[in-house]
Protein backbone atom coordinates (compact mmCIF):
# COMPACT_ATOMS: atom_id res chain seq x y z
CA UNK A 1 0.00 0.00 0.00
CA UNK A 2 1.39 3.41 -1.02
CA UNK A 3 1.57 5.74 2.01
CA UNK A 4 -0.54 8.87 1.80
CA UNK A 5 1.47 11.93 0.87
CA UNK A 6 0.78 15.35 2.37
CA UNK A 7 -0.77 17.88 -0.02
CA UNK A 8 -0.40 21.64 0.30
CA UNK A 9 -1.88 24.64 -1.48
CA UNK A 10 0.85 26.73 -3.10
CA UNK A 11 -1.04 29.00 -5.50
CA UNK A 12 -4.48 30.52 -6.02
CA UNK A 13 -6.17 32.70 -8.63
CA UNK A 14 -9.66 34.16 -8.93
CA UNK A 15 -11.86 36.09 -11.35
CA UNK A 16 -14.95 37.19 -9.40
CA UNK A 17 -17.73 39.77 -9.20
CA UNK A 18 -15.87 41.54 -6.36
CA UNK A 19 -12.28 41.41 -7.59
CA UNK A 20 -9.95 39.77 -10.08
CA UNK A 21 -6.94 39.45 -7.81
CA UNK A 22 -6.63 37.49 -4.58
CA UNK A 23 -6.20 40.57 -2.43
CA UNK A 24 -8.97 42.67 -4.02
CA UNK A 25 -11.33 39.69 -3.76
CA UNK A 26 -10.42 39.07 -0.13
CA UNK A 27 -10.58 42.74 0.85
CA UNK A 28 -14.07 42.99 -0.67
CA UNK A 29 -15.27 39.96 1.29
CA UNK A 30 -13.89 41.26 4.58
CA UNK A 31 -15.53 44.63 3.94
CA UNK A 32 -18.87 42.97 3.16
CA UNK A 33 -19.03 44.43 -0.34
CA UNK A 34 -21.71 43.07 -2.66
CA UNK A 35 -20.95 42.33 -6.31
CA UNK A 36 -24.62 42.16 -7.28
CA UNK A 37 -26.22 44.73 -9.57
CA UNK A 38 -28.51 45.12 -12.59
CA UNK A 39 -27.70 42.77 -15.48
CA UNK A 40 -25.83 44.67 -18.20
CA UNK A 41 -25.32 41.88 -20.75
CA UNK A 42 -28.82 41.85 -22.24
CA UNK A 43 -32.23 43.48 -22.06
CA UNK A 44 -34.03 42.11 -18.99
CA UNK A 45 -37.34 43.91 -19.47
CA UNK A 46 -39.24 40.63 -20.00
CA UNK A 47 -37.44 38.72 -17.23
CA UNK A 48 -38.62 38.23 -13.67
CA UNK A 49 -35.02 38.50 -12.48
CA UNK A 50 -33.08 41.55 -13.64
CA UNK A 51 -30.03 41.28 -11.37
CA UNK A 52 -26.88 39.18 -11.15
CA UNK A 53 -23.30 39.27 -9.89
CA UNK A 54 -21.32 40.00 -13.05
CA UNK A 55 -17.54 40.01 -13.32
CA UNK A 56 -16.30 43.59 -13.80
CA UNK A 57 -13.25 45.10 -15.50
CA UNK A 58 -12.21 41.85 -17.14
CA UNK A 59 -10.13 42.01 -20.32
CA UNK A 60 -9.16 38.51 -21.47
CA UNK A 61 -6.14 39.90 -23.29
CA UNK A 62 -4.62 40.76 -19.92
CA UNK A 63 -4.23 37.02 -19.35
CA UNK A 64 -4.43 35.28 -22.74
CA UNK A 65 -3.08 35.85 -26.24
CA UNK A 66 -5.62 37.86 -28.23
CA UNK A 67 -6.01 35.30 -31.01
CA UNK A 68 -6.53 32.46 -28.53
CA UNK A 69 -8.96 34.49 -26.41
CA UNK A 70 -11.20 35.07 -29.44
CA UNK A 71 -11.53 31.30 -29.82
CA UNK A 72 -12.76 30.87 -26.26
CA UNK A 73 -16.19 31.14 -24.69
CA UNK A 74 -16.38 33.55 -21.76
CA UNK A 75 -16.39 30.66 -19.26
CA UNK A 76 -13.13 29.44 -20.79
CA UNK A 77 -11.56 32.90 -20.66
CA UNK A 78 -12.38 33.17 -16.96
CA UNK A 79 -11.02 29.69 -16.24
CA UNK A 80 -7.77 30.11 -18.16
CA UNK A 81 -7.22 33.55 -16.61
CA UNK A 82 -7.71 32.21 -13.06
CA UNK A 83 -5.45 29.24 -13.83
CA UNK A 84 -2.71 31.51 -15.16
CA UNK A 85 -2.96 33.66 -12.04
CA UNK A 86 -2.74 30.59 -9.78
CA UNK A 87 0.22 29.15 -11.70
CA UNK A 88 2.05 32.48 -11.45
CA UNK A 89 1.16 32.79 -7.77
CA UNK A 90 2.64 29.33 -7.12
CA UNK A 91 5.89 30.26 -8.85
CA UNK A 92 5.44 27.53 -11.45
CA UNK A 93 5.96 29.62 -14.59
CA UNK A 94 9.69 28.99 -14.74
CA UNK A 95 10.02 26.25 -12.14
CA UNK A 96 12.05 23.13 -12.79
CA UNK A 97 9.28 20.53 -12.54
CA UNK A 98 8.51 17.28 -14.33
CA UNK A 99 5.59 18.39 -16.49
CA UNK A 100 4.47 14.81 -16.98
CA UNK A 101 3.68 14.87 -13.24
CA UNK A 102 1.63 18.09 -13.41
CA UNK A 103 -2.08 17.74 -14.20
CA UNK A 104 -5.12 19.96 -14.63
CA UNK A 105 -8.73 19.39 -13.55
CA UNK A 106 -10.88 22.49 -14.04
CA UNK A 107 -14.63 22.04 -13.94
CA UNK A 108 -17.73 23.76 -15.26
CA UNK A 109 -21.30 22.90 -14.44
CA UNK A 110 -22.71 24.31 -17.68
CA UNK A 111 -19.82 25.05 -20.06
CA UNK A 112 -20.06 27.28 -23.12
CA UNK A 113 -23.68 28.39 -22.96
CA UNK A 114 -22.86 31.75 -24.55
CA UNK A 115 -21.33 30.02 -27.57
CA UNK A 116 -24.22 27.55 -27.81
CA UNK A 117 -26.78 30.36 -27.78
CA UNK A 118 -24.95 32.37 -30.45
CA UNK A 119 -24.29 29.46 -32.79
CA UNK A 120 -27.77 27.96 -32.59
CA UNK A 121 -29.14 31.36 -33.63
CA UNK A 122 -26.79 31.30 -36.63
CA UNK A 123 -28.00 27.82 -37.52
CA UNK A 124 -31.67 28.76 -37.47
CA UNK A 125 -31.21 32.18 -39.09
CA UNK A 126 -28.64 31.35 -41.78
CA UNK A 127 -28.25 27.58 -42.03
CA UNK A 128 -25.58 25.04 -41.05
CA UNK A 129 -22.78 26.49 -43.17
CA UNK A 130 -22.64 29.56 -40.95
CA UNK A 131 -21.88 27.60 -37.77
CA UNK A 132 -18.35 28.30 -36.55
CA UNK A 133 -15.68 25.59 -36.89
CA UNK A 134 -14.78 26.51 -33.30
CA UNK A 135 -18.32 25.84 -32.05
CA UNK A 136 -17.59 22.46 -30.42
CA UNK A 137 -14.17 23.36 -28.93
CA UNK A 138 -15.67 26.55 -27.50
CA UNK A 139 -18.70 24.76 -26.08
CA UNK A 140 -17.36 21.68 -24.29
CA UNK A 141 -16.76 21.96 -20.54
CA UNK A 142 -13.45 20.08 -20.62
CA UNK A 143 -11.75 22.54 -22.97
CA UNK A 144 -10.45 24.72 -20.13
CA UNK A 145 -7.99 22.16 -18.72
CA UNK A 146 -7.05 21.40 -22.33
CA UNK A 147 -6.09 25.02 -22.96
CA UNK A 148 -4.15 25.27 -19.69
CA UNK A 149 -2.15 22.12 -20.40
CA UNK A 150 -1.31 23.27 -23.93
CA UNK A 151 -0.23 26.72 -22.76
CA UNK A 152 2.06 25.40 -20.04
CA UNK A 153 3.04 21.96 -21.32
CA UNK A 154 1.45 20.09 -18.41
CA UNK A 155 1.13 16.43 -19.45
CA UNK A 156 -0.34 14.84 -16.33
CA UNK A 157 -4.01 13.92 -15.71
CA UNK A 158 -6.24 16.31 -17.62
CA UNK A 159 -10.04 16.46 -17.57
CA UNK A 160 -13.12 18.19 -16.21
CA UNK A 161 -15.77 17.20 -13.69
CA UNK A 162 -19.46 18.06 -14.08
CA UNK A 163 -21.76 17.87 -11.06
CA UNK A 164 -23.73 21.12 -11.21
CA UNK A 165 -22.87 23.37 -8.27
CA UNK A 166 -20.49 20.77 -6.80
CA UNK A 167 -18.40 20.58 -9.99
CA UNK A 168 -15.31 22.51 -8.91
CA UNK A 169 -15.30 20.93 -5.45
CA UNK A 170 -15.23 17.51 -7.11
CA UNK A 171 -12.36 18.75 -9.29
CA UNK A 172 -10.42 19.83 -6.21
CA UNK A 173 -11.13 16.58 -4.39
CA UNK A 174 -10.02 14.52 -7.38
CA UNK A 175 -6.81 16.50 -7.78
CA UNK A 176 -6.11 16.23 -4.06
CA UNK A 177 -6.44 12.45 -4.14
CA UNK A 178 -4.18 12.18 -7.19
CA UNK A 179 -1.36 14.07 -5.48
CA UNK A 180 -1.89 12.28 -2.17
CA UNK A 181 -1.82 8.87 -3.85
CA UNK A 182 1.30 9.59 -5.90
CA UNK A 183 -0.29 9.80 -9.36
CA UNK A 184 0.86 13.42 -9.76
CA UNK A 185 3.13 15.88 -7.98
CA UNK A 186 1.15 19.01 -8.81
CA UNK A 187 -2.50 19.44 -9.80
CA UNK A 188 -4.07 22.68 -11.07
CA UNK A 189 -7.70 22.44 -9.91
CA UNK A 190 -10.83 24.54 -9.76
CA UNK A 191 -13.83 25.66 -11.74
CA UNK A 192 -15.28 28.32 -14.01
CA UNK A 193 -18.72 29.49 -15.11
CA UNK A 194 -20.35 32.19 -17.24
CA UNK A 195 -24.09 31.60 -17.49
CA UNK A 196 -25.47 35.14 -17.00
CA UNK A 197 -27.22 34.92 -20.34
CA UNK A 198 -30.81 35.13 -21.56
CA UNK A 199 -31.20 31.35 -21.58
CA UNK A 200 -29.46 30.91 -18.22
CA UNK A 201 -31.63 33.45 -16.42
CA UNK A 202 -34.80 32.27 -18.17
CA UNK A 203 -34.09 28.67 -17.20
CA UNK A 204 -33.49 29.39 -13.52
CA UNK A 205 -36.49 31.76 -13.48
CA UNK A 206 -38.65 28.95 -14.82
CA UNK A 207 -37.55 26.86 -11.83
CA UNK A 208 -38.39 29.70 -9.41
CA UNK A 209 -34.81 29.45 -8.15
CA UNK A 210 -33.63 33.06 -8.54
CA UNK A 211 -34.22 36.06 -6.31
CA UNK A 212 -36.53 38.70 -7.80
CA UNK A 213 -35.48 41.46 -5.38
CA UNK A 214 -34.70 43.65 -8.40
CA UNK A 215 -35.15 46.99 -6.64
CA UNK A 216 -32.40 46.20 -4.10
CA UNK A 217 -29.75 44.18 -5.94
CA UNK A 218 -27.07 44.43 -3.25
CA UNK A 219 -29.51 43.08 -0.67
CA UNK A 220 -30.90 40.26 -2.81
CA UNK A 221 -28.49 37.48 -1.81
CA UNK A 222 -29.28 36.91 1.85
CA UNK A 223 -28.36 33.37 2.95
CA UNK A 224 -30.05 32.07 6.11
CA UNK A 225 -32.15 35.25 6.44
CA UNK A 226 -35.87 34.70 6.95
CA UNK A 227 -36.70 36.87 3.93
CA UNK A 228 -34.48 35.05 1.41
CA UNK A 229 -36.29 34.43 -1.86
CA UNK A 230 -33.78 32.63 -4.08
CA UNK A 231 -30.19 32.73 -5.19
CA UNK A 232 -28.47 35.41 -7.25
CA UNK A 233 -26.56 34.12 -10.26
CA UNK A 234 -22.87 34.89 -10.29
CA UNK A 235 -20.00 34.15 -12.65
CA UNK A 236 -16.25 33.82 -12.59
CA UNK A 237 -13.56 31.28 -11.78
CA UNK A 238 -11.36 30.00 -9.00
CA UNK A 239 -8.24 27.85 -9.38
CA UNK A 240 -5.84 26.41 -6.80
CA UNK A 241 -2.44 24.71 -7.13
CA UNK A 242 -2.22 21.51 -5.07
CA UNK A 243 1.27 20.17 -4.54
CA UNK A 244 2.96 17.31 -2.73
CA UNK A 245 4.63 18.73 0.37
CA UNK A 246 8.21 17.61 -0.25
CA UNK A 247 7.96 18.71 -3.89
CA UNK A 248 6.83 22.16 -2.74
CA UNK A 249 9.57 22.40 -0.13
CA UNK A 250 12.31 21.42 -2.58
CA UNK A 251 11.48 24.33 -4.84
CA UNK A 252 10.95 26.77 -1.97
CA UNK A 253 7.25 27.31 -2.63
CA UNK A 254 5.12 29.48 -0.38
CA UNK A 255 2.48 27.34 1.37
CA UNK A 256 -0.96 28.79 2.10
CA UNK A 257 -2.49 25.80 3.88
CA UNK A 258 -2.70 22.02 3.84
CA UNK A 259 -5.40 20.22 1.90
CA UNK A 260 -6.63 17.64 4.38
CA UNK A 261 -9.68 15.71 3.19
CA UNK A 262 -12.66 15.35 0.88
CA UNK A 263 -16.04 13.67 1.21
CA UNK A 264 -18.51 12.88 -1.60
CA UNK A 265 -22.08 11.63 -1.25
CA UNK A 266 -25.38 11.51 -3.14
CA UNK A 267 -28.79 12.38 -1.73
CA UNK A 268 -30.57 9.85 -3.96
CA UNK A 269 -33.67 11.91 -3.28
CA UNK A 270 -34.68 14.63 -5.81
CA UNK A 271 -33.26 16.34 -8.88
CA UNK A 272 -33.21 19.81 -7.26
CA UNK A 273 -34.35 19.66 -3.62
CA UNK A 274 -31.93 18.65 -0.84
CA UNK A 275 -32.63 15.51 1.17
CA UNK A 276 -34.69 16.06 4.33
CA UNK A 277 -32.54 16.99 7.28
CA UNK A 278 -29.56 17.51 4.99
CA UNK A 279 -28.81 13.81 5.35
CA UNK A 280 -26.53 13.61 2.31
CA UNK A 281 -24.74 16.83 3.21
CA UNK A 282 -24.11 15.58 6.74
CA UNK A 283 -22.58 12.35 5.46
CA UNK A 284 -20.29 14.33 3.12
CA UNK A 285 -19.04 16.41 6.06
CA UNK A 286 -18.42 13.32 8.18
CA UNK A 287 -16.55 11.62 5.33
CA UNK A 288 -14.37 14.69 4.79
CA UNK A 289 -13.51 14.83 8.49
CA UNK A 290 -12.67 11.13 8.54
CA UNK A 291 -10.56 11.47 5.40
CA UNK A 292 -8.67 14.37 7.01
CA UNK A 293 -8.16 12.61 10.33
CA UNK A 294 -10.12 15.36 12.05
CA UNK A 295 -12.90 15.31 14.64
CA UNK A 296 -15.88 17.65 14.73
CA UNK A 297 -14.23 19.41 17.70
CA UNK A 298 -11.28 20.36 15.48
CA UNK A 299 -13.27 22.53 13.07
CA UNK A 300 -13.05 26.28 13.72
CA UNK A 301 -14.99 27.56 10.68
CA UNK A 302 -17.48 26.38 8.06
CA UNK A 303 -17.79 28.03 4.65
CA UNK A 304 -21.39 27.13 3.89
CA UNK A 305 -22.96 26.33 0.54
CA UNK A 306 -25.45 28.97 1.73
CA UNK A 307 -27.31 29.74 -1.48
CA UNK A 308 -30.07 32.05 -0.14
CA UNK A 309 -32.78 29.60 -1.19
CA UNK A 310 -35.38 28.59 1.40
CA UNK A 311 -34.77 24.83 1.32
CA UNK A 312 -30.99 24.72 0.93
CA UNK A 313 -30.19 27.02 3.84
CA UNK A 314 -32.60 25.25 6.16
CA UNK A 315 -31.38 21.75 5.33
CA UNK A 316 -27.71 22.74 5.43
CA UNK A 317 -28.29 24.15 8.91
CA UNK A 318 -29.82 20.85 9.96
CA UNK A 319 -26.89 18.96 8.45
CA UNK A 320 -24.36 21.04 10.38
CA UNK A 321 -26.26 20.38 13.60
CA UNK A 322 -26.36 16.66 12.85
CA UNK A 323 -22.57 16.55 12.47
CA UNK A 324 -21.48 18.97 15.19
CA UNK A 325 -24.25 18.65 17.77
CA UNK A 326 -24.38 21.43 20.35
CA UNK A 327 -20.97 22.66 19.20
CA UNK A 328 -22.62 23.76 15.94
CA UNK A 329 -23.77 26.90 17.72
CA UNK A 330 -20.19 27.88 18.58
CA UNK A 331 -18.69 27.46 15.08
CA UNK A 332 -18.73 30.53 12.81
CA UNK A 333 -20.56 29.73 9.56
CA UNK A 334 -20.54 32.18 6.66
CA UNK A 335 -21.69 32.28 3.05
CA UNK A 336 -19.43 33.81 0.42
CA UNK A 337 -22.45 33.75 -1.91
CA UNK A 338 -24.01 36.60 0.05
CA UNK A 339 -21.51 38.86 -1.76
CA UNK A 340 -20.53 37.14 -5.01
CA UNK A 341 -23.77 35.35 -5.78
CA UNK A 342 -23.85 31.71 -6.80
CA UNK A 343 -21.06 30.91 -9.27
CA UNK A 344 -22.67 27.53 -10.01
CA UNK A 345 -19.92 25.12 -11.07
CA UNK A 346 -17.19 27.59 -10.02
CA UNK A 347 -18.66 28.29 -6.60
CA UNK A 348 -16.86 25.60 -4.63
CA UNK A 349 -13.42 26.61 -5.86
CA UNK A 350 -13.85 30.34 -5.19
CA UNK A 351 -15.28 29.54 -1.77
CA UNK A 352 -12.35 27.26 -0.94
CA UNK A 353 -10.00 30.13 -1.84
CA UNK A 354 -11.91 32.27 0.68
CA UNK A 355 -11.60 29.48 3.26
CA UNK A 356 -7.84 29.24 2.75
CA UNK A 357 -7.46 33.00 3.13
CA UNK A 358 -9.48 32.75 6.34
CA UNK A 359 -6.87 30.32 7.71
CA UNK A 360 -4.03 32.52 6.47
CA UNK A 361 -5.25 35.74 8.07
CA UNK A 362 -7.37 34.64 11.01
CA UNK A 363 -10.26 36.70 9.66
CA UNK A 364 -13.73 35.32 8.90
CA UNK A 365 -15.76 37.18 6.30
CA UNK A 366 -19.41 37.94 7.06
CA UNK A 367 -22.67 36.73 5.65
CA UNK A 368 -24.11 40.05 4.52
CA UNK A 369 -27.81 40.93 4.41
CA UNK A 370 -28.53 38.79 7.47
CA UNK A 371 -31.20 41.00 9.03
CA UNK A 372 -34.20 38.90 10.02
CA UNK A 373 -33.38 35.67 11.86
CA UNK A 374 -35.09 32.49 10.69
CA UNK A 375 -36.02 30.21 13.62
CA UNK A 376 -34.94 27.22 11.49
CA UNK A 377 -31.57 28.82 10.69
CA UNK A 378 -30.24 29.63 14.12
CA UNK A 379 -26.45 29.22 13.94
CA UNK A 380 -23.73 31.88 14.06
CA UNK A 381 -23.67 33.05 10.44
CA UNK A 382 -21.22 35.92 11.15
CA UNK A 383 -23.85 38.53 10.30
CA UNK A 384 -22.77 41.60 8.35
CA UNK A 385 -19.36 42.18 9.96
CA UNK A 386 -16.10 40.24 9.62
CA UNK A 387 -14.65 38.83 12.81
CA UNK A 388 -11.11 38.00 13.90
CA UNK A 389 -10.74 34.35 14.88
CA UNK A 390 -7.88 31.87 14.80
CA UNK A 391 -8.83 29.11 12.36
CA UNK A 392 -6.72 25.97 12.47
CA UNK A 393 -9.06 23.74 10.46
CA UNK A 394 -12.11 24.46 8.31
CA UNK A 395 -14.53 22.82 5.92
CA UNK A 396 -16.21 24.13 2.77
CA UNK A 397 -19.52 22.72 1.51
CA UNK A 398 -20.85 22.41 -2.04
CA UNK A 399 -24.14 20.81 -3.03
CA UNK A 400 -25.41 20.41 -6.60
CA UNK A 401 -28.66 19.72 -8.43
CA UNK A 402 -28.97 15.99 -8.83
CA UNK A 403 -28.15 15.43 -5.16
CA UNK A 404 -24.35 15.78 -5.44
CA UNK A 405 -22.65 16.69 -2.15
CA UNK A 406 -18.99 17.56 -1.58
CA UNK A 407 -17.21 18.70 1.55
CA UNK A 408 -13.56 19.78 1.47
CA UNK A 409 -11.38 20.02 4.59
CA UNK A 410 -8.33 22.27 4.88
CA UNK A 411 -6.08 23.07 7.81
CA UNK A 412 -3.25 25.36 8.79
CA UNK A 413 0.07 24.05 7.56
CA UNK A 414 2.32 22.80 10.33
CA UNK A 415 5.81 21.99 9.06
Q: Which residues are identified as catalytic?
A: 165, 305, 342
Q: Is 19 left (phi over 0), alpha (psi -120 to 50) or beta?
A: left
Q: Is 6 exposed, middle or buried (0-12, 13-18, 19+ CB in 10 A)?
A: middle
**For residues 358 and 391, what is the distance between their CA atoms, to the nearest angstrom?**
7
Residue pair 344/307 in contact by the 8 Å Cβ criterion: no
Give Cα separations from 397 to 7, 62, 133, 327, 400 (angstroms): 19, 32, 39, 18, 10
Of the candidates 313, 280, 311, the one whose C-alpha atom is nearest the C-alpha of residue 381 is 313
Burial of 271 from C-beta contacts in 10 A (0-12 / 13-18 / 19+): exposed
Beta strands 102-107 and 158-159, pairing class: parallel
CB 106 within 8 A of CB 160: yes
Query: Alpha-carbon distance 403 to 89, whole Å?
Result: 34
Q: How far apart are CA 315 and CA 328, in angstroms?
A: 14
Alpha carbons 236 and 172: distance in angstroms, whole number: 16
DSSP string covering 5-69, please?
PPEEEEEEEEEBTTBSSHHHHHHHHHHT----EE--SS--TT-S--EEB---S--GGGTS-HHHH
Amino acid sequence: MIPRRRVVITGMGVITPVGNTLESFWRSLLEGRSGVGPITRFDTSEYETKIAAEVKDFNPEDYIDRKEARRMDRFCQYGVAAANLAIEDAGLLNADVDKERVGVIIASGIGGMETFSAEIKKLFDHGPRRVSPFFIPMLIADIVPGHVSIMHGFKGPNYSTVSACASSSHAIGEGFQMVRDGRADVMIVGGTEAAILPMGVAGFNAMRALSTRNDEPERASRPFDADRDGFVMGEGAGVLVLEELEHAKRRGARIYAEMAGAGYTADAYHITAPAPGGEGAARAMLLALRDAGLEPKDIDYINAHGTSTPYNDREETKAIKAVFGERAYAIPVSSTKSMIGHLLGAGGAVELVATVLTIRDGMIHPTINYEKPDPECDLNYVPNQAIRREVRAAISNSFGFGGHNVCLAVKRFEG
